[in-house]
Amino acid sequence: MADEQVSGERVTGGQGADGTVSDGKVADEQVADGWGIEEGGATAAPGPAPAAADPRTARRPGLPSRRGAAQPEVADVDIVPGAVDEAVLALAHRIVELASGKKASDVVLLDVRGQTTMTDYFVICSGASDRQLGAITDGIVEGLHEEGERPLSREGDASSHWVLLDFGGVIVHVMSVPEREFYQLEKLWSKASLLLHVV
Protein backbone atom coordinates (compact mmCIF):
# COMPACT_ATOMS: atom_id res chain seq x y z
CA MET A 1 0.00 0.00 0.00
CA ALA A 2 1.10 3.55 -0.70
CA ASP A 3 0.88 6.61 1.50
CA GLU A 4 -1.27 9.45 0.10
CA GLN A 5 -1.96 13.05 0.99
CA VAL A 6 -5.63 14.01 1.42
CA SER A 7 -6.40 17.63 2.38
CA GLY A 8 -3.04 18.03 4.05
CA GLU A 9 -3.28 14.83 6.15
CA ARG A 10 -1.30 11.66 5.56
CA VAL A 11 -3.53 8.70 4.84
CA THR A 12 -2.35 5.14 4.46
CA GLY A 13 -4.09 2.88 2.01
CA GLY A 14 -4.71 2.45 -1.68
CA GLN A 15 -6.90 4.22 -4.20
CA GLY A 16 -9.57 2.34 -6.15
CA ALA A 17 -10.52 2.82 -9.80
CA ASP A 18 -13.39 5.10 -8.81
CA GLY A 19 -11.07 7.46 -6.96
CA THR A 20 -12.02 6.38 -3.43
CA VAL A 21 -9.47 5.53 -0.79
CA SER A 22 -9.94 2.07 0.64
CA ASP A 23 -8.54 0.36 3.69
CA GLY A 24 -7.00 3.60 4.75
CA LYS A 25 -6.38 4.98 8.16
CA VAL A 26 -5.81 8.58 9.06
CA ALA A 27 -2.28 8.84 10.31
CA ASP A 28 -2.56 12.07 12.32
CA GLU A 29 -6.16 13.18 12.80
CA GLN A 30 -9.60 13.05 11.19
CA VAL A 31 -9.84 15.06 7.96
CA ALA A 32 -12.60 17.63 8.45
CA ASP A 33 -13.20 18.86 4.94
CA GLY A 34 -12.58 17.61 1.43
CA TRP A 35 -12.21 13.91 0.66
CA GLY A 36 -11.16 12.12 3.76
CA ILE A 37 -11.46 8.97 5.79
CA GLU A 38 -14.15 8.55 8.38
CA GLU A 39 -13.78 6.38 11.42
CA GLY A 40 -13.81 2.70 10.57
CA GLY A 41 -11.98 3.14 7.25
CA ALA A 42 -14.97 4.25 5.12
CA THR A 43 -14.53 7.13 2.70
CA ALA A 44 -16.08 10.43 3.65
CA ALA A 45 -18.26 12.45 1.32
CA PRO A 46 -16.68 15.54 -0.12
CA GLY A 47 -17.02 18.58 2.06
CA PRO A 48 -17.53 22.10 0.84
CA ALA A 49 -15.06 23.11 -1.82
CA PRO A 50 -12.66 25.88 -0.92
CA ALA A 51 -14.21 29.25 -1.64
CA ALA A 52 -13.14 30.54 -5.03
CA ALA A 53 -12.12 34.16 -5.30
CA ASP A 54 -15.00 36.45 -6.15
CA PRO A 55 -14.36 37.57 -9.77
CA ARG A 56 -15.84 40.99 -9.02
CA THR A 57 -13.29 41.72 -6.32
CA ALA A 58 -10.32 39.64 -7.46
CA ARG A 59 -7.42 41.67 -8.76
CA ARG A 60 -6.64 40.91 -12.36
CA PRO A 61 -3.16 41.54 -13.71
CA GLY A 62 -2.83 44.79 -15.63
CA LEU A 63 -6.02 46.37 -14.30
CA PRO A 64 -6.12 49.07 -11.63
CA SER A 65 -7.71 48.15 -8.33
CA ARG A 66 -10.91 49.87 -7.24
CA ARG A 67 -10.12 49.24 -3.62
CA GLY A 68 -9.14 52.36 -1.80
CA ALA A 69 -10.35 54.55 -4.67
CA ALA A 70 -12.27 57.60 -3.60
CA GLN A 71 -16.00 57.08 -3.98
CA PRO A 72 -17.97 60.03 -5.34
CA GLU A 73 -20.11 61.74 -2.78
CA VAL A 74 -23.83 61.46 -3.36
CA ALA A 75 -25.81 64.54 -2.46
CA ASP A 76 -28.81 64.01 -0.24
CA VAL A 77 -31.76 64.65 -2.51
CA ASP A 78 -35.33 64.36 -1.36
CA ILE A 79 -37.20 62.38 -4.00
CA VAL A 80 -40.84 63.31 -4.05
CA PRO A 81 -43.02 60.82 -5.95
CA GLY A 82 -44.83 62.54 -8.81
CA ALA A 83 -42.69 65.68 -8.57
CA VAL A 84 -41.88 67.32 -11.89
CA ASP A 85 -38.24 67.89 -12.79
CA GLU A 86 -38.55 71.27 -14.51
CA ALA A 87 -35.23 70.92 -16.37
CA VAL A 88 -36.27 67.58 -17.90
CA LEU A 89 -39.70 68.95 -18.82
CA ALA A 90 -38.05 71.98 -20.45
CA LEU A 91 -35.79 69.60 -22.40
CA ALA A 92 -38.85 67.67 -23.60
CA HIS A 93 -40.52 70.88 -24.77
CA ARG A 94 -37.32 71.96 -26.53
CA ILE A 95 -37.21 68.61 -28.36
CA VAL A 96 -40.81 69.15 -29.51
CA GLU A 97 -39.82 72.61 -30.82
CA LEU A 98 -36.81 71.24 -32.70
CA ALA A 99 -38.83 68.38 -34.24
CA SER A 100 -41.59 70.79 -35.28
CA GLY A 101 -38.94 73.07 -36.80
CA LYS A 102 -37.94 70.21 -39.11
CA LYS A 103 -41.58 69.72 -40.14
CA ALA A 104 -42.20 66.56 -38.10
CA SER A 105 -45.85 65.59 -38.13
CA ASP A 106 -48.12 64.39 -35.36
CA VAL A 107 -45.70 65.29 -32.52
CA VAL A 108 -46.80 63.89 -29.14
CA LEU A 109 -45.32 64.53 -25.69
CA LEU A 110 -46.28 61.88 -23.12
CA ASP A 111 -45.65 61.93 -19.37
CA VAL A 112 -44.73 58.31 -18.53
CA ARG A 113 -43.43 58.89 -14.98
CA GLY A 114 -46.27 56.87 -13.46
CA GLN A 115 -45.78 53.90 -15.81
CA THR A 116 -42.01 53.36 -15.93
CA THR A 117 -38.77 54.25 -14.18
CA MET A 118 -36.61 54.27 -17.32
CA THR A 119 -37.56 57.81 -18.32
CA ASP A 120 -39.94 60.66 -17.53
CA TYR A 121 -41.20 61.67 -20.98
CA PHE A 122 -41.64 60.26 -24.46
CA VAL A 123 -41.62 62.45 -27.54
CA ILE A 124 -43.06 60.61 -30.53
CA CYS A 125 -43.10 62.15 -33.99
CA SER A 126 -43.36 61.12 -37.63
CA GLY A 127 -41.60 61.92 -40.88
CA ALA A 128 -42.84 61.39 -44.42
CA SER A 129 -39.60 59.97 -45.88
CA ASP A 130 -36.25 58.53 -44.86
CA ARG A 131 -34.64 61.86 -45.71
CA GLN A 132 -37.04 63.72 -43.43
CA LEU A 133 -36.53 61.19 -40.60
CA GLY A 134 -32.79 61.87 -40.86
CA ALA A 135 -33.35 65.64 -40.91
CA ILE A 136 -35.62 65.52 -37.84
CA THR A 137 -33.17 63.34 -35.92
CA ASP A 138 -30.14 65.42 -36.88
CA GLY A 139 -32.02 68.63 -36.12
CA ILE A 140 -32.81 67.45 -32.58
CA VAL A 141 -29.28 66.18 -31.91
CA GLU A 142 -27.52 69.23 -33.36
CA GLY A 143 -29.91 71.73 -31.79
CA LEU A 144 -29.42 70.24 -28.33
CA HIS A 145 -25.68 69.80 -28.86
CA GLU A 146 -25.41 73.58 -29.26
CA GLU A 147 -27.13 73.89 -25.87
CA GLY A 148 -24.79 71.37 -24.21
CA GLU A 149 -27.11 68.34 -24.28
CA ARG A 150 -26.02 65.09 -25.90
CA PRO A 151 -27.99 61.87 -26.27
CA LEU A 152 -26.92 58.98 -24.05
CA SER A 153 -27.57 56.65 -26.96
CA ARG A 154 -28.96 56.57 -30.47
CA GLU A 155 -30.58 53.47 -31.96
CA GLY A 156 -31.59 52.89 -35.55
CA ASP A 157 -31.28 55.18 -38.52
CA ALA A 158 -33.52 56.73 -41.14
CA SER A 159 -33.36 53.66 -43.39
CA SER A 160 -34.77 51.51 -40.57
CA HIS A 161 -37.81 53.84 -40.40
CA TRP A 162 -37.45 54.28 -36.62
CA VAL A 163 -34.81 56.27 -34.76
CA LEU A 164 -34.65 56.33 -30.98
CA LEU A 165 -32.75 59.05 -29.11
CA ASP A 166 -32.22 58.59 -25.38
CA PHE A 167 -31.62 61.80 -23.43
CA GLY A 168 -32.11 60.12 -20.04
CA GLY A 169 -35.23 61.88 -18.80
CA VAL A 170 -36.64 62.10 -22.35
CA ILE A 171 -36.74 59.35 -24.96
CA VAL A 172 -37.49 60.46 -28.52
CA HIS A 173 -39.06 58.18 -31.14
CA VAL A 174 -38.77 59.47 -34.71
CA MET A 175 -40.78 57.09 -36.87
CA SER A 176 -42.11 56.72 -40.39
CA VAL A 177 -45.90 56.87 -40.62
CA PRO A 178 -46.37 53.14 -41.44
CA GLU A 179 -44.08 52.10 -38.57
CA ARG A 180 -45.93 54.36 -36.17
CA GLU A 181 -49.31 52.99 -37.24
CA PHE A 182 -48.03 49.43 -36.88
CA TYR A 183 -46.40 49.75 -33.42
CA GLN A 184 -48.96 52.20 -31.96
CA LEU A 185 -46.78 53.43 -29.10
CA GLU A 186 -49.47 55.88 -27.95
CA LYS A 187 -51.87 52.98 -27.48
CA LEU A 188 -49.19 50.91 -25.73
CA TRP A 189 -48.60 53.83 -23.32
CA SER A 190 -52.29 54.79 -23.14
CA LYS A 191 -52.17 55.32 -19.36
CA ALA A 192 -49.54 58.04 -19.82
CA SER A 193 -50.67 61.66 -19.61
CA LEU A 194 -50.77 63.48 -22.93
CA LEU A 195 -49.02 66.81 -22.34
CA LEU A 196 -48.80 68.11 -25.89
CA HIS A 197 -49.99 67.16 -29.36
CA VAL A 198 -48.79 69.11 -32.40
CA VAL A 199 -50.56 68.03 -35.56
Segment 104-159, tens digit of pLDDT: 999 999 999 989 999 999 999 999 999 999 999 999 999 999 999 999 999 999 99
> Which domains does the chain possess?
1-47 (no CATH), 86-198 (3.30.460.10)
- Contact in structure between 110 and 195 (CB atoms under 8 Å): yes
Q: Taking a C-beta distance cutoff of 8 angstroms, is the pair 172, 154 a contact?
A: no
DSSP state of 114: T
Read off the pLDDT of residues 70-118 as tens digits, 9 standing for 90 and up. 555 655 655 556 678 899 999 999 999 999 999 999 999 999 998 999 9
Confidence (pLDDT) at 27? 44
Neighbour tally for 99: CB within 10 Å? 26
- Nearest Cα neighbor of 47 from 59, 58, 37, 35 is 35
For 57-71, the pLDDT digits (tens) are 655 555 455 555 555
Q: How confident is the model at residue 9 (pLDDT cuts 50, 70, 90)?
A: very low
pLDDT digit string (tens) for 18-36? 555 545 444 444 444 445 5
Q: How many Å apart are CA 69 and CA 57, to the nearest integer? A: 13
